[in-house]
Amino acid sequence: MNESTITEADKRFFHRNGFLIKENALAPEEIGVLRREADCLLNFLMSENVDIMKDLGGIIEPIPCGYIDPPDSQMYILSKKAYTNIRNRITEEPDTVVPVLFGKIPALARPLFPPETRDNPLCLFNEQYIIKSPKTSSTSSFAWHQDSQYMDPSAQKTFPIISCWVALDDVTISNGTLLIEPFPKVSTGDPSFAALAENPLDNIESYLQYFQHLASCYGPEMDRDKAMAEVKAQKLTRGLEGTRHGNLIEMEKQEYHNDVPQGEGAGEGSRGICRDPYVLVEAPAGSIVFLSGFVRHCSFGNASSTFRRVFMPQYSIGKVESEDGGLISLAVPCSDHLHG
């Protein structure tokens, strides 16, 4: 089944857990377009004697990777038309990725954001292929992280981002998939948090306050290797309300009380916080994992005998700026114009 719409249940799930998995979100022809571009860039870099893992950490950015000549001007990072013209130098019609990059994927991500406005449109913030070479389990894993940590503190508090992790191959525990730690379950006894929880999508400020509050309740990171070992040993399948979202691995849970520590991490003996099971993403090609910039996740290494390909565009509401007013990355509006 092609899950190419976001339901109200999906939105509730994302807002509560910090992630959402939509299986088979892309059509076969859309997957094919992205695979062909990924292979084109990968083959070019390998022909240039680039070691994908050692030299690039498995990250291939389409425009800067060297396959095309550098743009004459940096203005393309602000213009959909200019960005599209440069992007189409890599794979032209009928293999252009533009309809997926500026159409299909942001259309799915948009309902998970606060409303966009003329001053703060939905923008492409970054895009990259994450390709893990075969038999690289010891070098192709990614440590626990939150995607917003790569932005400066000022931007984290001002601009929401969502990463769209698009599986171009079936992803499993063997070939380098994701492990997600959902936001901790917290009490809404605090009146300010209760008000935010009722409708966190009203505006950018309340949206960010809501997600930052949930992320502040994370406890210390579990040792990644230990977590992965437990996942492999305890692999269980469960479901959560609102969406089928992969395999949940039951970990230790903390006691759930009525009060929530203000701005404190969920350390040993914390009150008001319940650690959820970890989520192992095992999904078919064409599935999309939507990740809040504040949700904690890591990934396994690729122990399989084939490349594991993922496309990951990131989107923001507004043009993400640093404290000094400079752009942090791309700021390409997804719409040609926005009324209202």
Percent helix, strand and coil across the chain, each to the nearest 5: 30, 20, 50
- The pLDDT of residue 47 is above 80: yes
Q: Name the most confidently modeled range: 70-74, 115-119, 311-315.
A: 311-315
pLDDT in tens, 171-229: 999 999 999 999 998 766 767 677 777 777 889 999 999 999 999 999 998 888 888 78
- pLDDT value at residue 101: 98
Other C-beta atoms lying within 10 Å of the C-beta of residue 118:
9
pLDDT in tens, 234-257: 664 433 333 344 554 443 333 322
Q: Where are the domains of the chain?
A: 8-333
- pLDDT value at residue 268: 34
**Are 36 and 90 contacting, i.e. CB atoms less than 8 angstroms apart?**
no
pLDDT in tens, 122-156: 999 999 999 999 999 999 999 999 988 777 777 77
Residue entry with tokens 């870099």: 45
The pTM score is: 0.87
- For 192-242, the DSSP string reads HHHHHHH-TTSSHHHHHHHHHHHHHT--SPPPHHHHHHHHHHH-----BTT
The CATH class of the 8-333 domain is mainly beta
